[in-house]
Amino acid sequence: MNIKWDSGKYTSDFSFVHEYGNSVIELIEAEKGASVLDLGCGNGALTKVLQDKGYCAKGLDASPELLTIARGNYPHIEFIQADAADFSLEEPVDAVFSNAVLHWIDKAWQPRMLACVHRALKPGGEFVFEFGGHGNNRQIHTALAEIFAAHEYPYQMPFYFPTIGEYAALLETAGFQVRYAVLFDRPTALKGEDGLKDWIRLFVKTPFAVLQDEQEKEAILAETEKSLRGGLYQDGIWYADYVRLRMKAVRLK
Ligand code: BEZ
């Protein structure tokens, strides 16, 4: 998950990422005062919400750029720089929370991340999370793959979007019991006339890394936008075709 984030853009134009996270927090059953780790906390906005709800919250993220924002905005909260698939805490926590993060972790690395979460939780502790589920951004990635192919570049899906069944199996293998799972569509409005292009620029970086020519990158973006206008542009607003996988699991022992 070594992404170099444009932290300003992420915070200003994509605030929906943490705004939608508020309803995921509601799934946490631990009492106020319980310790909660915000895994992949980004700019810390949801770590702050957890703190305001009465939890003893700390954040963990791999990105130094986003952690600089988080520490600047919330100096009273502890933020740890570490990879979600390679961390350990000094003291286990009552709950681990994660919003819009786990799809960044390769399928092959998910068991390592789940082992870290398991070790970070007290027995009976809750793992509450939401991320991109099966079919997430299907229209966007299908269009990108077609346009990349037309330009004779490979397009490898840079995210992991599992089904409920697949992820439940990973959780059970890692020593969790699944208590809640739902997969649902959540079309998400993007900001501005360039909303779709901006979203792709911010989030779909790896496939574009092979392209040296800026003009060709812009051409691919323009062609993708054109091909998606019929499906994802309505009444002057661009939408990203999000599908969310929201789950709760508890550490068995
Ligand atoms: C998501 O939240 O589902 C997501 C965001 C950016 C890239 C891929 C997925």
Q: Report how far residue 56's alpha carbon sits from residue 77's, in angstroms, rounded to the nearest whole number.
A: 9
Q: Report how far residue 92's alpha carbon sits from residue 121's, in angstroms, rounded to the nearest whole number.
A: 5
CA nearest ligand 1 atom 1, residue: 132
User: Of all residues in the chain, what percent carry a pLDDT higher than 70?
Assistant: 94
In ligand 1, which atom is closest to the CA atom of 132? 3
Q: Report how far residue 151's alpha carbon sits from residue 116's, in angstroms, rounded to the nearest whole number.
A: 41
Please give the pLDDT value at position 34: 98
- How many helices and strands (H and E) does the chain possess? 9, 8
Confidence of residue 2 (pLDDT cuts 50, 70, 90): low
Between 13-22, 62-71, 194-203, the lowest mean confidence (pLDDT) is in 13-22
Query: What beta strand segments (E) does the chain contain?
Result: 35-39, 56-61, 78-81, 93-99, 121-132, 176-189, 233-234, 237-251
In ligand 1, which atom is closest to the CA atom of 159? 8
Considering Cα of 229, then 233, then 239, then 241, what sign does the dihedral take?
negative
3-state secondary structure of 32: coil
Pocket of ligand 1 (CB under 6 A): 100, 103, 132, 136, 159, 203, 242
Confidence of residue 22 (pLDDT cuts 50, 70, 90): confident
CB within 8 Å of 221: residues ≥ 6 apart: 197, 200, 201
Residue with tokens 């286990």: 92
pTM reported for the whole predicted model: 0.93
Average pLDDT over residues 81-108: 98
* DSSP of 151-189: TT------S----HHHHHHHHHHTTEEEEEEEEEEEEEE
List, for residues 110-120, the tens digit of each pLDDT value.
999 999 999 99
What's the 132 CA to ligand 1 centre distance in angstroms?
A: 6
Mutate to test the pocket of ligand 1, among 17, 104, 159 (most ligand atoms within 8 A of CB): 159
